[in-house]
Amino acid sequence: MSSRWQKRDQSRPDRKVSFSFIWQIQLASSANRNALLKHTFQHNTRTVLSQAAGMAQHEQSAASFPEHIRKKRNGEQLSAGEIRDFVQGVKDKTIQESQIGAMLMAIWLQGMVAEETLALTKEMMMSGEVMSWPAEWEGLVVDKHSTGGVGDKISLVLAPALAACGCKVPMISGRGLAHTGGTLDKLESIPGFNVYQSVQQLHGILEEVGCCIVGQTDNLVPADKVMYALRDVTSTVDSLPLITGSIISKKGAESLNALVLDVKFGNAALYKDLGSAKSLAQSMVTVGNSLGIRTGAVLSRMNCPIGRCVGNTLEVMESLECLKGRGPDDILELVTSLGGLLLWMVGRAGSLEEGKKVISTTLQNGAALEKFQNMMIGQGVTSQIAASLCSTNTDYYGILRRAHYQTELETQGHGTVLDIDGMVIAQVLHRLGAGRSKAGDPVNHSVGAELLLSLGQKVEKGQPWLRVHYETPALSAEQRLSLQGALTLGPADQLLTQPLVAEIILP
């Protein structure tokens, strides 16, 4: 065969010639030869017709997509089939980015009814790989998701605590963006910690340890990756059905038995008021349960930073202190509330209160700490480093990187600490390199801040209240002024005490 025809055959698989087939034709009798040719012709015809039908279906879906956009733009309900066409087109890249953006904006403007949101979430979940687990893990596979906050290190403490209770926790986490910190960024401040694990490796770590904290694989909900990036550039990030679809589709692809959601509200959260946060929580709880995942939610306040530390390395240190039974009360409250609810949902505790006590015990007796140590080793940290970090009186800065400079800010007056604005602190640290403005930007793990006082504490003028860790760029006079504005002092009788957990939504 000439090089011309070989090249043509490679570009058109349906025109490839089988030399073994030609040889069969030459050796066959006249009758057999006719039968063989007839069978081959019929098979090739069916193949071509099938390919043509598939191409026609794609072309028809692409051609009708503007009608789907118009329908949603005008406030009409999309059918399950139309939503399937949309998600399939996003995955297969058979519709234009401008059309995807237009649909996202139509959804943002008009919203979706519960049936649409469920259909969208299900189609996104099925756009890629859906994980499967051994039969003996049935009823034990759990996870948690937070809508994001300042100093939110709960996953680092909760995952090993749940593993110590016999659960399997395949926690698929994300990176920080804007003012919120990312669990993966925190863990990567530990030398050697590898957040990229194959499905086979993840299975192995879960089998041996019980918990694993990793990044999203390429095959998990690929449609969401495209939609998430376009939501950012089309200002549709805060759409309730799109948030629900993005979060629950990924958790559904994990094949969970139970899921708990930490939906935050306040100055340093996506939603500023309880009502808006509750609407999102209820949407996710409804869709999660409809997909067969027992789903509950905790509505928690997000004004002051969680704990005393903000910034990747500092938050790892504080998480280790929590696992050693020495953590701040607010972290303990969130960990036990979220973990206790999960244990109750999977039947490993008779009530929420009993579940909270079981989780608390794992933090006090070292069981959760041991799980975290083994998880570190399972994900690439040397046994020596893992053991040193988990020892009682370790020198954290002997292992974790410390920023070149530390500056302490002092109180400008005296009184009672009424408020510490977490958003202001996070925004300054973001500009100092602790966070990223767009996906893929590097972060400086050593940048962060330590709170040296707490709400309700009485202070005198000139008392240190915040220690800032930074490198390049340096802390500017403007940033110092912003940080000083984050602290509110006043008379003790003006202190407004509210519980950290405002409400719990059961499955």
- List, by residue number, the catalytic residues: 145, 224, 231, 246, 250
Of 384, 337, 401, 5, which is closest to residue 188 (Cα–Cα)? 401
Quickly tell me which residue has 């957040």 as its tokens: 195
Task: List helix spans (H) across 311-366.
Answer: 312-323, 329-345, 352-364
- What radius of gyration, in Å, describes the C-alpha atoms of the chain? 27
How far apart (Å, rounded) are the C-alpha atoms in residues 130 and 247?
Answer: 15
Tokens representing 154 are: 């709960």
The neighbour count for residue 218, using CB atoms within 10 Å, is: 8
CB 405 within 8 A of CB 470: yes
How far apart (Å, rounded) are the C-alpha atoms in residues 158 and 165?
Answer: 11
Burial of 172 (0-12, 13-18, 19+ CB in 10 A): buried
How far apart (Å, rounded) are the C-alpha atoms in residues 40 and 38?
Answer: 6
How far apart (Å, rounded) are the C-alpha atoms in residues 483 and 427?
Answer: 10
How many H-runs (helices) and E-runs (strands) does the chain carry? Answer: 19, 13
Q: Residue 440 in 3-state DSSP? A: coil
Of 267, 271, 251, 269, which is closest to residue 259 (Cα–Cα)? 251
Q: Residue 176 in 3-state DSSP? A: coil
Sheet strands (E) in 331-463:
405-410, 415-420, 448-451, 458-459
Tokens representing 458 are: 């009485």
Burial of 504 (0-12, 13-18, 19+ CB in 10 A): middle
